[in-house]
Chains A and B, each alone.
Chain A
């Protein structure tokens, strides 16, 4: 049997010739060529899906041009060694002239100083004798007042720090941080800062934040990377803004988290609401929701806020938060006294990892602190049960607190990591297959082949779902294409059923 050439099959697949063609006749009895045609179709579909080439951005072209011009100039100079010629080109003439003039001035001044004037005579000057006066130190303002005198600047105070640095130096508890300070934690580190108005900012491990603006009326923090937790009591006269790359988060009086990793920013809200602003859109995010900024797209996600009755899931030892994560009770909004230091001292001491002899088996997981947190502030006088941390096997127990709420950095970090794993996980073969099939539905629908699109859509919807974060988005896409094709075919009733299914999707 003679098989058609690959070129012939390629052309046939591209042209989608009539079934009566000889190639079609051959395919009816040649499974090998059917396989080849199937492969060709997939390749052609991939090529057809490519977007048109956009025009060369002017800014990009200019940047490259400037860099090339500089390199070309240097190459010219080094190649010919005629640097002296280049000196006298207009580009270099001015700098050379100015330098020469300055040198001449310096020489002139030096000569003037060295040469005494004819009229100059040494004159002896006797010091005037005065009675010694007592030296009194000039009065100084207290440090805090000095910093804020004539301005509404405030400083942040470190309330807890572990494996943390500010401006490259280790951070000490009660250290004051001025505007412009950059604080960073190492892996396994953590840090809490407090501001006079009651705002608290916490960093988990491997995080870096800059205090870009510390003013009584406006606070601005910039997240370089890692996780920043914010607890912000609402003040009408003050705005808190967190910047993470292109994403700007404006607080509306709440608790929220901003996490920045390579290529993605996550904003999750535990209580209240924030306004998230990106280069393309602005969105208000309420409690229990999160948004992820990635690839120029703002995607809405659910954010797990454990309920008081939810049993905390077991945490695998390898996923347990590092030993240095600390718990911190949230202080009353009005409390900013030094008594807090004592509370925090005992809190931090209590959170030190216990010796390995402590039994790990019977301890709750890190989520327990969230349960306690979730109970408050409805009942601020309730004393929560002792909470625990796991530390890869060892456990520590801290005293309960009768304060308003908690914000457990360890639990927060674990939840962010879970979400990131779900978002960043590489595709398994099945997931890739599922994603490709979803693309195929769209390709067929865009081509106008509704019959084929509907067949593919039905197959896709019957297949088991994956656990990827993109799965709901894929399902919406397939259902949308199914709806489109049903409408095109005039099957309105079925299209309406699909519409209802779409409306029910998250």
Chain B
């Protein structure tokens, strides 16, 4: 794509010696790509996108669900990353920042949807339900997803990130602590508070009778 047009092969990414940190480009290629993109190499940014897009997609999908806005949101995540790379010094993980941006962008989208009148949920055409899918089941799943997203939009960024990683993406606290760059105990405590807030949010959105209460 861009690499071919500019006459460069994907591997020809030069990193200045002064930028090499303890985590060498070999062990952390994403860091090298981020540094190169910061220095103006658009090819590097394209490669960074191609290497991280699946992760970003998973996080975004879990936060906002199936919506036609996913394409715009995915683009927005990387545009924010592009802008933030100006001040990148290579001392933090790219994935940490990327995941944080994904959760932020997703939550902002949910909150803006909450302020607008309820839109009809449409899936991106590429994700259309197959003919074999039970229509009633599809509807039930969508209703459950809408409830989760509305409750998620009430959480703060820190708690929402940990909740999404643990309870929606199935990551362990140790993995999450690397992602969000904080101690494991902090992750556990945030998760506990996030679950409490999430439960209260869902309860507020659900009538007492539906919860089996008088």
Whether B168 lies near A64 (C-beta < 8 A) is: no
Could you say which residues of chain B place their CB within 8 Å of the CB of A436?
Answer: 143, 147, 206-207, 210
Nearest CB in chain B: distance from A62 CB, A: 9
Whether B199 lies near A68 (C-beta < 8 A) is: no
**A462 interface residue per 8 A CB criterion:** no
Pick from A158-166, A207-215, A266-274, A292-300 the stretch touching chain B. A292-300
Q: Which of A225-251 contact B (CB under 8 A)?
A: none
Q: Which of B127, B145, B212 contacts A57 (CB 8 A)?
A: B127
Could you say which residues of chain B place their CB within 8 Å of the CB of A470?
Answer: 139
Nearest CB in chain B: distance from A480 CB, A: 8
Q: 10 tightest A-B contacts by CB?
A: A49-B144, A57-B126, A72-B42, A263-B120, A39-B203, A56-B57, A477-B136, A43-B202, A91-B5, A69-B2
**B115 interface residue per 8 A CB criterion:** no
Could you say which residues of chain A place their CB within 8 Å of the CB of B137?
Answer: 442
**A124 interface residue per 8 A CB criterion:** no
Nearest CB in chain B: distance from A347 CB, A: 38
Interface string of A420-457 (1 = CB under 8 A from B): 00001010010011011111101000000000000000
Supplied contacts A68-B49, A72-B2, A436-B206, 4 more A-B pairs, CB within 8 Å: A42-B206, A56-B54, A69-B1, A438-B140
Q: Which of B79, B119, B144, B202 contacts A68 (CB 8 A)?
A: B79
Q: Which of B62, B128, B148, B192 contacts A279 (CB 8 A)?
A: B128
Contact status of A68 and B46, CB under 8 A, knowing A35-B213, A43-B151: yes
**B17 interface residue per 8 A CB criterion:** no
A464 to B46, CA, bound (A): 57
Q: What would 6 A/B residue contacts be, using CB atoms closer than 8 Å?
A: A42-B206, A42-B211, A64-B78, A75-B82, A433-B209, A439-B140
Interface string of B42-67 (1 = CB under 8 A from A): 10011001100110011001100000
Interface string of B64-89 (1 = CB under 8 A from A): 00000011001100110010000000
Q: Which of A6, A39, A72 contacts B46 (CB 8 A)?
A: A72
Whether A6 lies near B144 (C-beta < 8 A) is: no
Contact status of A263 and B131, CB under 8 A, knowing A56-B53, A442-B137: no
Q: Which of B107-129 contact A (CB under 8 A)?
A: 118-124, 126-129
- A residues sitting closer than 8 Å to B (CB atoms) are 5-7, 10, 35-36, 38-43, 45-47, 49-51, 53-57, 59-61, 63-69, 71-73, 75-76, 79-80, 89-91, 262-264, 279-281, 294-297, 299, 424, 426, 429, 432-433, 435-440, 442, 470, 473-474, 476-477, 480
Contact status of A79 and B40, CB under 8 A, knowing A53-B62, A64-B74: yes
Nearest CB in chain A: distance from B39 CB, A: 10
Contact status of A296 and B128, CB under 8 A, knowing A46-B147, A53-B61, A76-B42: yes
Whether B124 lies near A60 (C-beta < 8 A) is: yes
- B residues sitting closer than 8 Å to A (CB atoms) are 1-2, 5-7, 37, 40-42, 45-46, 49-50, 53-54, 57-58, 61-62, 70-71, 74-75, 78-79, 82, 118-124, 126-131, 135-145, 147-148, 151, 167-168, 192, 195-196, 198-200, 202-203, 206-207, 209-213
Could you say which residues of chain B place their CB within 8 Å of the CB of A474?
Answer: 136
Contact status of A50 and B168, CB under 8 A, knowing A38-B213, A63-B71, A79-B40: yes
Could you say which residues of chain A place their CB within 8 Å of the CB of B198?
Answer: 43
Contact status of A280 and B70, CB under 8 A, knowing A49-B144, A69-B46, A80-B40: no
Whether A72 lies near B82 (C-beta < 8 A) is: yes
Could you say which residues of chain B place their CB within 8 Å of the CB of A53?
Answer: 57-58, 61-62
Could you say which residues of chain B place their CB within 8 Å of the CB of A36?
Answer: 199
Could you say which residues of chain A place their CB within 8 Å of the CB of B135?
Answer: 297, 299, 473
A424 to B140, CA, bound (A): 17
A60 to B147, CA, bound (A): 26
Contact status of A473 and B139, CB under 8 A, knowing A63-B71, A439-B144: yes
Could you say which residues of chain B place their CB within 8 Å of the CB of A42?
Answer: 202-203, 206, 210-211
Could you say which residues of chain A place their CB within 8 Å of the CB of B79?
Answer: 68, 71
Whether B140 lies near A46 (C-beta < 8 A) is: no
User: Which residue of A has the minimal Cβ distance to B45?
Assistant: A72
Nearest CB in chain A: distance from B17 CB, A: 21
User: Which residue of B has the minimal Cβ distance to A35?
Assistant: B213
A39 to B213, CA, bound (A): 10
Could you say which residues of chain B place their CB within 8 Å of the CB of A47?
Answer: 148, 167-168
Whether A46 lies near B148 (C-beta < 8 A) is: yes
Nearest CB in chain B: distance from A79 CB, A: 6
Whether B6 lies near A66 (C-beta < 8 A) is: no
Could you say which residues of chain B place their CB within 8 Å of the CB of A438?
Answer: 140
A443 to B207, CA, bound (A): 18
Could you say which residues of chain B place their CB within 8 Å of the CB of A64?
Answer: 49, 53, 71, 74-75, 78
User: Which residue of B has the minimal Cβ distance to A51?
Assistant: B141
Could you say which residues of chain A place their CB within 8 Å of the CB of B126?
Answer: 57, 59-60
Nearest CB in chain B: distance from A463 CB, A: 9
